[in-house]
Amino acid sequence: MQALRAWKYWPWLRDLGIALLLVAAVRVYQQRNLASGPAPALAAADITGIDRSLAAYRGAPVLLHFWATWCGACKAEQHNLDAVAGDSPVLSVASRSGTAQQVAAYVNEHAIAPLVIADPDGTLARRFGVGAFPTTFVIDGAGRIRHSEVGYSTELGLRARMWLARW
């Protein structure tokens, strides 16, 4: 009798397994070209004209976030990045979103906290293999990419990845 009751859950378990496999396949596909290992060089002026580079963050993890002003998921995720930027280094790259002046106007209008580099033609994004927005990298103190994520990330998820990059 117990065995018969267990079989009534089989369709639900099968469907859940298929859904999990599909989600995993989409994640693998989205991340297929992302940079891994040592982080590619990134040196550029931010939207205020100050030179920034990943090398300046050696010794502690840094969150590198690629986004676009026209991206809906990026807008939804922004408060999570602002919260993390309050106590951790966050460098963001506004890719294919216009000139530095246009990005600066957007950043000021939306009170975005992290340092922002404009990437008008997507050159920096391509260097990291970014094909979709938002894409986030956590780079450890030695300059190695420890985590990468395509799509929306929660504040807790971002903080957990930053914490894991310390070890």
Residue ranges of the domains in the chain?
A: 31-165
Segment 46-61 mean pLDDT? 93
Residues whose CB is less than 8 angstroms from the CB of residue 127 and which lie 6 or more positions away in sequence, other chains included: 35, 40, 41, 42
Which two tokens mark 135?
């894409």
31-165 belongs to CATH 3.40.30.10: yes
In this prediction, residue 5 has a pLDDT band, given cuts at 50, 70 and 90, of low
With a cut of 60, say whether residue 12 has pLDDT above it. yes
In this prediction, residue 60 has a pLDDT band, given cuts at 50, 70 and 90, of very high
Angle value at C-alpha 124, between 91 and 47, nearest 5 degrees = 50
Alpha-carbon span 62 to 128, nearest angstrom: 15
With a cut of 60, say whether residue 143 has pLDDT above it. yes
Lowest mean pLDDT among 9-13, 77-81, 111-115: 9-13
| Stated pTM of the model | 0.86
Instruction: Residue 116: name the closest of 53, 47, 70, 43 by CA.
Output: 47
Angle value at C-alpha 121, between 32 and 158, nearest 5 degrees = 50
In this prediction, residue 31 has a pLDDT band, given cuts at 50, 70 and 90, of confident
Segment 53-66 mean pLDDT? 94
Which two tokens mark 152?
């929306």
Instruction: Look at residue 6 in the predicted model and tell me its pLDDT.
Output: 63
Q: In the block, which residue shows the tokens 């106590």?
A: 87
Instruction: Look at residue 141 in the predicted model and tell me its pLDDT.
Output: 94
Alpha-carbon span 116 to 61, nearest angstrom: 17
